[in-house]
Amino acid sequence: MQGNNEPKSFYESGGPHKGILSWIFTTDHKRIGLLYLASLFIFFIVGAAFGLLMRLELIAPGKTIVTASTYNSFFTLHGVIMIFLFIIPGIPVSLGNFFLPLQIGARDVAFPRINLLSWWLYMTGGILALMSLFTGDGPPDTGWTFYAPYSIRTGTNVSLAVFAAFILGFSSILTGLNFVTTVHRLRAPGMSWFRMPLFVWSLYATAWVQVLATPILGITLLLIIIERFFGVGFFDPSKGGDPLLYQHLFWIYSHPAVYIMIVPAMGVVTEIIPVFARRTIFGYKAIAFSSIGIAAVGFFVWGHHMFTSGISDTSKAIFSLLTFLVAIPSGIKVFNWVASLYKGSIKVDTPLLFVISFVFLFCIGGLTGLINGTLATNIHIHGTHFIVAHFHYVMFGGTAFAFFAGLHYWFPKIFGRMYSEARAKFAWFFLFIGFNILYFPMFILGWQGMPRRYYDYLPMFHELNLISTIGSWILAAGLILMFINLVRSIKKGERAESNPWKGTTLEWTVPSPPPVENFEEIPVVTQGPYKYE
């Protein structure tokens, strides 16, 4: 219901190209955000399908549906897709791309064409990763960690998968440098650092991690490829190499990467709470600095993935100590979120429902992270399903739940329509219940000693695995319901007004969906982001 004098939405004016070309060659950050959203969704489904297949295999001991080597390539591809194609790009490239410029009052990101390039690289990487399934001598079977020397010796198609991850790293770097520059250069007049929405702060912190950590992954993966083709011997003990150095290099990137995943999610949560509590956020600066704090400390704890690998005991002690320090800024955030509900005027719509479950699930994941980080206990649970449970709680229960929260929250702005509230809540219920039935038993399994990446297991682990597999179906039902509701509402939902939730950040001041240029007139900002006076 757009008035005559309202500018056309970005759906209607696609630049010089027509049809699909107006999407895949667009430089509009909103269109790129949606491109990413669609691609993320597709890869997520592929990854999830592997997840369901793995659960099916693990429904009973012994061979159920696939052979050992197929199972091994399942969790490898599952891990690679979920990590590199879904959760690392995840929130920044979709919601971030769409809302970062809108929230800081800019017309676009700093480098629109590089933004597009990064999507192309992402697609290239994604397609190569999927191709590694069907080409070469069998799908890669190393796990997403590509540990040397196995990854150098195995005859499967590791090189292509690694190369795909390398390209994806490049794409991630480009997004990172784009966002850092955007935040520095394109804030609207009056938008000082401490007037930025906290989602922007979280993206900013994440972007720095992307810039500073990802190149290490790049070189590490490149070395795997070089090793496979030329046999230089950097990680091969018979040539003097040290396999543990591979692990150092890998985790130097991959630990900070887990904060690339969670920090934007925390940003989304911080954005949603004040809106549905109709009050200002508690402890704005503490939250902003804790994002930076998590990002910074996160660089120096990578060794906690290597407590049983044979590194020196001195370094274990120091890495363990530093690991605990990360818990403190995470805790600050959790407490601030809870405090922001105090004396609010709260309405539990779907976004807030997801946020509340986020806090609960993330706390479980985070607090069990402390058990991982403690030296004595890590020895027992490393490499077991306890770890698998931990990281699904933080990645799925944390990041993905926050992602879903953000999708619902910003849905009316992106598509100009409302989703069905009742259906959304119904889907949430299955998701939440299914999630816990699926992953909680893994904590117990892990504590009982069931190692991860096991195609087959002892009969004593059967019952819990069975429960877990049943949970995966409930979860799948929830996800399907949620996606159907959202997809249906894109066309059929009620028209949304420009500010359905009464939000106070800048994206709610423009029409839904926003016009190409975002703002007719660049706004002048005179106060902080969450003012409900």
Distance, CA of 505 to CA of 347 (rounded, Å): 18
Residue among 39 and 465 whose Cβ is closer to another protein:
465
Task: Report phi then psi at 283, rounded to 5.
Answer: 70, 55
> Which H or E element spans position 443?
helix 421-448
Residue 78 found at the interface with Cu ion (CB under 5 A) = no
With CB cut-offs between 5 and 8 Å by kind, which of ligand HEA, another protein, Cu ion, none does residue 67 bind?
another protein
Whose CA is closest to 213, among 161, 167, 249?
249
Site for another protein contains 173 (CB under 8 A): yes
- For residues 334 and 389, is the Cβ–Cβ distance under 8 A? no
Give, as ranges, the residues between 335 and 394 that touch another protein (CB under 8 A): 335, 338-339, 341-348, 356, 359-360, 363-364, 367-368, 370-371, 373-380, 382-384
| Total binding residues toward another protein, as defined by CB under 8 A | 142
Which one of another protein, Cu ion, ligand HEA, none interacts with residue 356, CB within 5 to 8 A by kind? another protein
Choose the one of Cu ion, ligand HEA, another protein, none that binds residue 212, judging by a C-beta under 5 to 8 angstroms depending on kind.
Answer: another protein
Question: Of ligand HEA, another protein, Cu ion, none, which one does residue 364 interact with (CB within 5 to 8 Å by kind)?
Answer: another protein
Shortest separation between residue 189's beta carbon and another protein, angstroms: 6
Distance from C-alpha of 285 to C-alpha of 264, rounded to nearest angstrom: 16
Residue 316 sits in the site that holds Cu ion (CB under 5 A):
no
Based on CB atoms, which residue is closest to Cu ion, 213 or 224? 213
Reference 275, options 488, 502, 497, 54; nearest CA is 502
Q: How far is the CB of 210 from Cu ion (least distance, A)?
A: 16
Residue 81 touches ligand HEA, criterion: CB under 6 A: no
Q: How far apart are CA 250 and CA 246, in angstroms?
A: 6
How many residues make contact with ligand HEA (CB under 6 A)?
61
Q: What would you measure as the largest C-alpha separation in the chain, in angstroms?
A: 75
Burial class (CB in 10 A: 0-12, 13-18, 19+), 397: buried
Question: Which of 121, 129, 217, 258 contacts ligand HEA by CB under 6 A?
Answer: 258
Residue 173 contacts residue 215 (beta carbons within 8 Å): yes
Q: Which of residues 297-316 bind ligand HEA (CB under 6 A)?
A: 304-305, 307
CA separation for the pair 266, 444 (Å, rounded)? 28
Closest approach, Cβ 455 to ligand HEA, in A, equals: 7
Nearer Cβ to ligand HEA (458/484) = 484
Q: CB under 5 to 8 A by kind: which of another protein, ligand HEA, Cu ion, none does 399 bind?
A: ligand HEA
Q: Does 395 bind ligand HEA (CB under 6 A)?
A: yes
Q: Shortest CA distance to 478 belongs to which of 362, 357, 366?
A: 357
Q: Which is nearer to ligand HEA, 15 or 331 (CB)?
A: 331
Residue 311 identity (one-letter amino acid): I
Q: Which of 465, 464, 396 is nearest to 431 (CA)?
A: 396
Gap between the Cα atoms of 242 and 526, Å rounded: 57
The mark string for 134-163 relative to another protein (x by CB under 8 A, - otherwise) is -------xxx---x-xx--xxx--------
Bond before 149 cis per omega within 30 degrees = yes
Omega before residue 500 within 30° of 0, cis: no
Backbone angles phi, psi at 65, to 5 degrees: -120, -30
With CB under 6 A as the contact rule, the residue among 33, 51, 446, 511 that binds ligand HEA is 51
Smallest distance from ligand HEA to CB 91, Å: 11
**Total number of residues that touch Cu ion (CB under 5 A):** 1
Residue nearest to Cu ion (CB): 255
**48 near ligand HEA, judged by CB under 6 A:** yes
Amino acid at 206: T
Contact 145, 161 (CB under 8 A): no
Among 30, 255, 333, 385, binds Cu ion (CB under 5 A): 255
Task: List all residues 6 or more positions away from 428 whose beta carbon is below 8 Å from its beta carbon.
Answer: 350, 353, 354, 357, 478, 482
Residues 40-59 that bind another protein (CB under 8 A): none
For the bound state, the minimum distance from the C-beta of residue 293 to ligand HEA, rounded and expressed in Å, comes to 11
* Least distance between another protein and beta carbon 318 (Å): 6
Q: Which of 116, 146, 111 is nearest to 132 (CA)?
A: 146
- Residues 61-86: b if buried by 16+ CB within 10 A, e if exposed: beeeebeeeebbbbbbbbbbbbbbbb
The partner in contact with residue 155, picked from another protein, ligand HEA, Cu ion, none with C-beta cut-offs of 5 to 8 angstroms by kind, is: another protein
Question: How many Cβ atoms from other residues are within 10 Å of residue 526's Cβ?
Answer: 10
Candidate ranges 75-83, 109-117, 271-279, 456-464; the one touching ligand HEA (CB under 6 A): 75-83
From the CB of 305, what's the least distance to Cu ion, in Å?
Answer: 5
Q: How far is the CB of 452 from another protein (least distance, A)?
A: 8
Q: Can you tell me which of 12, 242, 421, 463 binds another protein, judged by CB under 8 A?
A: 242
Q: At which residue do the structure tokens 């979120």 appear?
A: 337
> Residue type at 115?
N
Residue 431-470 contact track with another protein, rule CB under 8 A, x = bound: ----------------xxx-x-xxxxxx------------
The DSSP annotation for 3-46 comes to -TTSPPBTTT--TT--TTHHHHT---HHHHHHHHHHHHHHHHHH
For residues 440 and 451, what is the distance between their CA atoms, to the nearest angstrom? 16
Q: Which residues are CB-contacts of 121 (< 8 A; sequence separation ≥ 6)?
A: 167, 168, 170, 171, 174
Residue numbers at the binding site for ligand HEA (CB under 6 A): 45, 48, 51-52, 54-55, 58, 75-76, 78-79, 82-83, 86-87, 143-145, 258, 261-262, 304-305, 307, 323, 326-327, 330-331, 334, 363, 366-367, 369-370, 372-373, 378, 382, 387-388, 390-392, 394-396, 398-400, 438, 452-454, 472, 475-476, 479-480, 483-484
Chain residues that interact with Cu ion, rule: CB under 5 A: 255
